[in-house]
Amino acid sequence: MAGKLIVIMGTNASGKSGLGVELALKYGGEVVSADSRQVFRGLDLGSGKITPDETKGVPHHLIDVCQPGDFFSMADFQRLAYEATDGILARGKLPFLVGGTGLYVDSVIDGYELSSIEPDLALRAHLETFETPALYEMLKEKLPDTDIDPKNRNRVMRALERLAADDYHPGKHNPRYEALKLGVTWPRETLKARIDERLERRLNQGMVDEVRRLLDAGVSTEFLMKLGLEYRYLTRYLLGEITYDQMVLELGNAIKKFAKRQMTWFRREENLHWLDMASDPVTQAAELIDAFLAG
C-alpha cells in the first residue's frame, strides 16, 4: 500500500510554511520543503526560508542541501524528496510536502520519471547563446507536439539537452504516494498587501546585506540573476543598475505577478482542497486529513 502524504501548496506570502508547522505539530509529522531556492545555503531572507524558531521543533527536510552556484535539478529534488519522505514514513510519522514551486511539488506527487544524466555543459553553454523564442523553435523542430510552455526557458533548454542525450521520455508518471492536496490562498487584494508587508519586513531584516554577502563570497551574478525575483532585483541594485526605490517598486510588482502565475499553476491541480486562510485553516485542514487517514 502506498504511503500517505499531505501536500500544502500555495503562493508567496500565503502562510503555507506556518500552516505546515501547525499541522505537523498536530499530527506528529515532518516537513519536506518544495522550494527551488531554499535548497541553497545562505539564501535565507530572499527565499522566505523558515527560521529555526519558526519550525517550533518540527524537522524540516530539503533546506540548505547545497551551495549557491551548485547545479541542482528537478531530478535532484525529486530523489532527495523521495528519500526524505520514505524516511519519515519508515519512522511512523506523517510527511507534509510544503511548497510553492509547482513543478517540484508535481514531480513528487505525480511521480515524474526524470533523468539522472548529468548536464552536457558544452551544449548548455551553446544553448545559452540563444534567446528563448529561438530555443523553442529548435524544440518544435525536434518535437512538433511538445506541450512545454514556450516562455519557460529552463524547461525548453532541459528538453533540448535530454533530446540530444536520447533521454527524453515525456509524460511518464509513476506515483509512489497517496496524496491529499491542500491549497492555501487569500483574496487577491489581501495577498497583495501580505506581499508588500513581507517584502518591507525582509528588507528591514537585512535582505540587501544577504545578497551583498553572497556576492562578496564569490557567488556569481549570473547565478543570482537566474534565481529571479528578490535575488535578481537586489543584485541589479547592488550593481548600480537601478536605484533602491526602483528596486522596491519593481520587485514588489514582480512578486505579485509571480504569485498570479503560481495560482494559475495550482488551479490546474485536480482534487485540490482550498483552505480559507481568513477563517480557521488548521481546523479545515484537520477535518480533511482525518478523513484521508481514516480512508
pLDDT at 246: 98
Indicate the DSSP class of residue 58.
-
Task: For residue 11, count CB atoms less than 10 angstroms from its CB and return exposed for 0-12, middle for 13-18, buried for 19 or more.
Answer: buried
pLDDT at 120: 76
Q: Which residues contact 225 (CB under 8 A, 6 or more apart)?
A: 231, 232, 235, 236
CA distance 205 to 209: 9
The helix (H) or strand (E) run that includes residue 258 is helix 244-267
CA distance 250 to 259: 14
- The structure's pTM equals 0.85
Query: Within 13 Å and on the Cβ side, how many CA atoms surround 155?
Result: 10
- Sheet with 30-34: list strands edge to edge: 60-61, 30-34, 95-99, 3-10, 177-185, 272-276
pLDDT at 158: 80
Give me 10's grid cell: 500555495
pLDDT at 224: 97
pLDDT at 144: 78
Backbone angles phi, psi at 210, to 5 degrees: -60, -45
Three-state DSSP at 16 gives helix
Residue-level pLDDT, tens digit, the chain, 295 residues = 589 999 999 999 999 999 999 999 999 999 999 999 999 999 999 999 999 999 999 999 999 999 999 989 888 999 999 999 999 999 999 999 999 898 899 999 999 887 766 667 788 888 888 999 999 999 888 887 787 888 888 788 888 887 887 666 666 788 999 999 999 989 999 999 999 999 999 999 999 999 999 999 999 999 999 999 999 999 999 999 999 999 999 999 999 999 999 998 898 899 999 999 999 999 999 999 999 999 8
275-286 CB burial, b ≥16 within 10 A, e <16: bebeeebeebbe
